[in-house]
Amino acid sequence: MDNVFRRLRRYASLEQSVIVLLTAEIIAKLYYKALQKSTKSEVLIDLCNQILSDEEKHVQFQSETLHKFAQNRSVLFNRIVYILRRILFKGTLIIVWYQHKPVFKSGGYKLKSYYYECRHEFNLTKKIIANSQ
């Protein structure tokens, strides 16, 4: 999956690159939560905490960046970008679930809870993109 994201970003505009990164980082937040819940290693738990803290800042920054791209465009164009972003996100969710199902399951996630938590995180970015100052 990482190689696919790298290829997408190589041929993408800056905005498209940010969308790809944001997609990966939203899902990574859930992956590292699951990994953290599935281990007893204090080192791995601490590492996951640091990654989760970093990802939170990355998601905020990238959402604010997307807001700047959207500011001077029509509502219709922004709606189309949002729909395409959501399609990329949902497709990525499915692929990541099947590639990393053991980690998610070990961390207490079922497909439905994984999907809903990822969707919640995605919706939070939508609010940031719409409301950034």
Digit-coded pLDDT (tens) for 8-32? 666 678 999 999 999 999 999 999 9
What pLDDT score was predicted for residue 95?
96
The pLDDT assigned to 12 comes to 72
Give me the torsion for CA of 24, 76, 68, 94, rounded to 10°.
Answer: 0
Q: What is the pLDDT of residue 58?
A: 96
- Alpha-carbon distances of 54 from 4, 35, 57, rounded to whole Å: 22, 16, 5
The reported pLDDT for the residue numbered 133 is: 47
- ∠ CA 8-26-99, rounded to 5°: 70
Check residue 2 and give its pLDDT.
62
Q: Which residues of the chain have pLDDT under 70?
A: 1-11, 132-133
Q: What is the pLDDT of residue 8?
A: 63
Where do we find the tokens 């922004």? 78
